[in-house]
Amino acid sequence: MPESTGKESNHLRARQAMVDEQLRRRQITDTRVLEVMGDIPRHRFVSLDQQAEAYTDGPLPIGEGQTISQPYMVALMLQQLSLNGHERVLEIGTGSGYQTALLCRLAKEVYSLEYLPDLANQARRLLQQCGFHNVRIITSDGSLGLPQYAPFDGIVVTAAAPKIPSPLLDQLADGGRLVIPVGTRDQQELLCITKHPDGYTEERSVKCRFVPLRGEKGWTSDG
């Protein structure tokens, strides 16, 4: 989309600073994740009046009471998925579509589920405009996963769950990873579950705070 050159170069500088200061200086080392976060124009996934803030170190409102996650948190979740470009992945909580765009570059096939139809429609349009064609955005209750396209090599949930939704575990491929914030409404821990032929292993990383996962295996349908 054409934009004045001055504004565009400001965004580019801010994006490079985001990668260097917010990601490299913390524990983001996956070179593919760093590269795509340097490429994807995060400012296009927020409203015009938020664009000047797009590369700051925090979440931003995207309407309907939802937020685009902090860049560092997005990068950490993507790094934990450990993608090499050949995977089929499922994202729960499309929101703005920003993390979806990153996934489109990091994996082969992306399915993204969003509970709120307006957000899903907006993200679908934007991702199309940006030229991403390896993605399907579906309005549905993502706490139930997407059994018809399972198994997935990676599943990432961008809303907080009271516990790990069992359908998501069932829909992981062998060696696949599920990254999900689990805890109370006020505070969660980021979990990374890996499926093995004989069970699952779980790693816990940072404390975090996400908007609640709604739906059958989330909090409540209006939650």
- Report, as residue numbers or ranges, the catalytic residues: 69
Q: How far apart are the first and last CA of the chain?
A: 36
Q: Contact 38/15 with Cβ under 8 angstroms?
A: yes
126 binds ligand SAH (CB under 6 A): no
Binding residues among 134-173 for ligand SAH as defined by CB under 6 A:
141-143, 158-159
- The smaller minimum CB distance to ligand SAH, of residues 193 and 211, is found at 211
Taking alpha carbons only, the member of 16, 123, 12, 8 closest to residue 63 is 123
Task: Please compute, for residue 194, the number of CA atoms within 13 A of its CA located in the half-sphere on the CB side.
Answer: 8
Q: Mapping DSSP to helix (H, G, I), strand (E, B) and coil, where does residue 10 land? A: helix
Segment interacting with ligand SAH, rule: CB under 6 A, options 17-25, 64-72, 170-178, 182-190: 64-72
Q: Contact 66/95 with Cβ under 8 angstroms?
A: yes
Q: Contact 98/75 with Cβ under 8 angstroms?
A: no
User: Closest approach of Cβ 65 to ligand SAH, in Å?
Assistant: 8
Q: How far apart are CA 40 and CA 188, in angstroms?
A: 27
User: Closest approach of Cβ 213 to ligand SAH, in Å?
Assistant: 4
The correct pick among 55, 72, 115, 132 for binding ligand SAH (CB under 6 A) is: 115
Binding residues among 80-99 for ligand SAH as defined by CB under 6 A:
92-93, 95-96, 98-99
Question: Which residues in this chain contact ligand SAH in the complex, by CB under 6 A?
Answer: 62, 66-69, 92-93, 95-96, 98-99, 113-116, 119, 141-143, 158-159, 211, 213-215, 218
